Structure 1
Amino acid sequence: MPAHSSGLRALIAGLALTLCSGAAQAGAQQYEPLAASVRAALHEAVSDAVAPTLPIPDAGERSLWLTEMSRRLQKRIPDENYRKALLTSIHYEATRAGLDPQLVLGLIQVESNFRKYAISSASARGYMQVMPFWLKVMNRPDDNLFHLRTNLRYGCTILRHYLDIEKGDLFRALGRYNGSLGKAEYPNLVRTAWEKHWSWQPQQVASATATKPPSN
């Protein structure tokens, strides 16, 4: 799927810090030499704009997914329009990177609890707690890691990079993402969040919706 980018300039760092809602719990990602494909995936800037489409081919399933995930996220993000825009962007960027969107939702819950301006003690930023050194690696110092899709594009591409390094071993890839390779705590937290809060079985959801009595 082609990427869409607007090349917007970075927001003022002080503004982002002012809007931060507290430190996030995240480890320090470690730099790994980037393959040419990873550099290509991060080469073009993306912006704070919502992704253009929700990449689920079937219209019925697309509607079900967005409605159900929006319901699950409601307590964390009360604004319905923003909540659906965020979910659309998460699914878009996860799919673009070849990741399960439900895994990415679990990772974001653990990393930032869906706080856009979260900053960890290691200076990781945004929804997916991306370390700022990646901007130097990519020679893109003006990219803003607090931008919605910029953060998701970096985070999803980096996780894909680690999965490739580890030949599909999710446990080790998550350890690399968190800077805790070989330790079980972080991968287990992400998997628990994924399975407990974000698992998706559209046929079961559709069946439950169809049999649910109408509310008065």
Structure 2
Amino acid sequence: MATQTYERSDSLVSSLYDRLQSIVCAFVLLLCGAIGFAGTLGAAHILTPLAASTITYEIIEPQTPAYSAVAMGESAALTPLSSVFTPQVQYWAPLINAWAIAFQMDPNLIATVIQIESCGDPSVGSSAGAQGLFQVMPFHFAPGEDMLDVQTNAARGLNYLAGGLAKANGHVGLALAGYNGGHGVIDRGWATWPAETQRYYYWGSRIYSEATSGTGSSPTLQEWLTAGGGSLCTRAQATEDQLTQQQAGY
């Protein structure tokens, strides 16, 4: 009889333990489910407004390249003209400084263009049809304009150069490439440029950089003279001698 009572007690305890274990497991599962649901609901509450709304960004201070103000503006226009340019270009120094003020442009950039294009010869023309001190193509002139008139030639050439500077965001090398090869090259890669434009970029950007460095010399300009620029300057000197004689009344 005692043995039978013990067996019933053991069976009852085991049954209660199994039930308790089942209840605990169920409670844990319910708790995990509740936590998971709450987390999902919270995430949905946080993310839904972001997905549904449009995020607006405000530019407080636009970033412009450091070089953008080097060759343009009032300060650039007042930059002293470097002594590195050849005497044939220095001949035009008073006008170069006046054009710098008028076009709000570094006079050294203007002198760089004159140096490479004509070396100061206002009467020179190219086989492609470019004319005068700035070697401006005929289609830049208005009908009836004298393409060799120094002031007219400068106005047309510098207007085009200023447009290139604006398109290139002040990048002198790209503006010079655009002056030679057309503004379309500014947005294209170096490899797509004609060989002449690549050389122009090389000569122009380096001469300008050396002219504005304050060193008082331009190895690149000397290289340009040796590469063929010297003959252009010889012709320019002859033209300027004639102009000097005419002004003196000879």
How far apart in 1 are the matches of 2:117 and 2:97? Answer: 17
Q: How does 1:12-51 map to 2 (within 5 A)?
A: none
| 2:146 alignment counterpart | 144
How far apart in 2 are the matches of 1:132 and 1:179? Answer: 15
Larger Rg, first or second structure (1 or 2): 2
Counterparts in 2 of 1:112 and 1:72: CA distance versus 1, 3 Å: closer
Counterparts in 2 of 1:174 and 1:102: CA distance versus 1, 3 Å: same
Structure 1 length normalisation: TM-score? 0.50
| 1:189 alignment counterpart | 203
Percent of residue pairs identical = 26
- 2:107 is the counterpart of 1:107: no
How far apart in 2 are the matches of 1:176 and 1:144? Answer: 24
CA contact (8 A) 1:112 1:127 kept: yes
Structure 2: runs of 5+ lacking an equivalent: 1-76, 217-250
SS of alignment partner, residue 125 of structure 1 = coil
SS of alignment partner, residue 168 of structure 1 = coil
CA contact (8 A) 1:114 1:127 kept: yes
CA contact (8 A) 1:99 1:156 kept: no
- 2:122 is the counterpart of 1:122: no
CA contact (8 A) 2:135 2:157 kept: yes
Q: CA deviation at 1:72?
A: 5.1
Q: How does 1:159-178 map to 2 (within 5 A)?
A: 159-178=161-180
CA contact (8 A) 1:116 1:148 kept: yes
Amino acid aligned to 2:163? H
CA contact (8 A) 2:134 2:154 kept: yes
| 2:94 alignment counterpart | 88
Structure 1: runs of 5+ lacking an equivalent: 1-54, 206-216
How far apart in 1 are the matches of 2:148 and 2:178? Answer: 22
How far apart in 1 are the matches of 2:105 and 2:138? Answer: 22
Q: CA deviation at 1:193?
A: 2.6
Bigger relative CO (Cα 8 Å, ≥ 6 apart): 1
**Structure with greater helix share of residues:** 2
Q: Give a deviation string over 1:175-206, Cα, whole Å, max 9, x none.
A: 1110162443211111233344x4474xx88x
Counterparts in 2 of 1:162 and 1:118: CA distance versus 1, 3 Å: same
Q: CA deviation at 1:173?
A: 1.7
- The aligned length equals 128
Query: What's the C-alpha RMSD, in Å, of the aligned pairs?
Result: 2.8
- 2:127 is the counterpart of 1:132: no
How far apart in 2 are the matches of 1:166 and 1:200? Answer: 21
